[in-house]
Amino acid sequence: MLKQAVVLVGGLGTRRKPLLEVAGKPFLDYILDELARYSVIEDILLLVGHRAASVVDRYEGRRWRGARVKVMVESTQLGTGGALQHASSQLENSFFLLDGHAFFEFNLLDLAIQKGRSSALVQMALRDDHHGDRYRRVLLEHDMVRTFLPAGAQVNGPINSGVYCVDRRALDFIRETPCSLDQHIFPELAERGLLKATRYDGFFIDIEIPSDFERAQIELPAALRRPAVFFDRDGVLNVDKSYVHEIEDFEWIPGAREAIKLCNDLGCLTFVVTNQAGVARGHYGIDAVHRLHDWMNRELAEVGAHIDEFQYCPYHEDGVVAEWRRASDRRKPAPGMILDCLKGWPVRKEASILIGDKPHDLEAASAAGIRGYLFEGGNLADFVRPLLRS
């Protein structure tokens, strides 16, 4: 399981474009927001060139959702490969690597799964059939990268998106600096059969040229308004055994993990909204809820899936624990948990749905203004698939 993401913020001969503002905030913030959706990513390392005080001031030591951010500064310009070599003491055995001037919306954990099945040292995410003559095209044999065409040679076909899963052994191919990954390292890895790629077709934009930077002002915020799928937990994602809170008692519903990955692959935000009256009734504490939800996301990561946010309500007016004994507008059938997600994330409400197994789940969906569907058992992926295509 990859726990680290590395972002190339400044490189040889480039301006620090990731700090330019798009719709009122630095472009780099959008990349960090996207990385932090994945709770398995615990550390984000920003690699910057000299005169990087603005990057250090804004990002060093911060937490971005659950991830820790660290900035590493080069004393001289080393190129993209040299920047990795300079940071080698901080790198995990495997890590995500992203160019800081491009944004690509796809299921990052799926790339990690593809890398895990591969013998390659680098698994590259390609934007499939991206139009334009300023990009180098990638020629494949199945999933093996064979060569790169120069910019302008072809106006269609897959391009390198600037997102990778990297085995740190790839650093052994950096023999001198300055060094470019694109120009020096990737061609050699391809020649040796150590560079593979997976195609994705999500929203992609690269702000290296002024026209695309201007286009990003409108298109990037719009693309980030995504449909959401809200899942009840007990009885939908796991077998309802009454007050499930221990990992050993948790049993996935058939097709549950596959259903969540399907939502991730299609670009939907994915939430859990669950009543947890067992806290108010004294059966377990909130630490047990957090522990179980963290474990669920680790389990999901093993199949390339994740939940963006777990919302739970520990309150009940008949509780025996005074701290949690009260009515709450977050307890379904009230819509509070759904509304909190709608406020906290860029959700396309009109395209969003909820999957529940009880009438009060559907009442909460209706009260929040989204469609609700009753799951009555069977394979959850089979149930969800046609709903996402309707």
Strands 122-127 and 159-167: antiparallel
Contact 83, 181 (CB under 8 A): no
- The whole-angstrom separation of Cα 190 and Cα 140 is 10
Q: What DSSP designation does 103 have? A: E
Contact 39, 272 (CB under 8 A): no
**Nearest in space to 50 (alpha carbons), one of 86, 71, 76, 85:** 76
- In sign, the C-alpha dihedral spanning 61, 67, 70, 71 is negative
- The whole-angstrom separation of Cα 175 and Cα 269 is 42
Largest CA distance in the chain: 71
- The whole-angstrom separation of Cα 35 and Cα 159 is 21
- The whole-angstrom separation of Cα 78 and Cα 139 is 28
* CA angle 256–247–336, rounded 5-degree value: 65
**Nearest in space to 307 (alpha carbons), one of 345, 339, 336:** 345
User: Based on the number of CB atoms within 10 Å of its own CB, is 13 exposed (0-12), middle (13-18) or buried (19 or more)?
Assistant: exposed
Q: Helices marked H in 142-233 — which ranges?
A: 186-191, 210-223
Q: Which two tokens stand for residue 245?
A: 């809170």
Catalytic member of 99, 167, 234, 361 = 234
Q: Enumerate helices (H) and strands (E) in the chain, giving the number of each.
A: 12, 19
Task: Give me the phi and psi of 296, to 5 degrees please.
Answer: -60, -45
- The whole-angstrom separation of Cα 324 and Cα 318 is 9
Residue 232 annotated as catalytic: yes
Catalytic member of 232, 308, 357, 361 = 232
Q: Please name the amino acid found at residue 36.
A: A
**Nearest in space to 206 (alpha carbons), one of 3, 14, 43:** 14
Residue holding tokens 């191919």?
173
Give me the active site residues, please: 232, 234
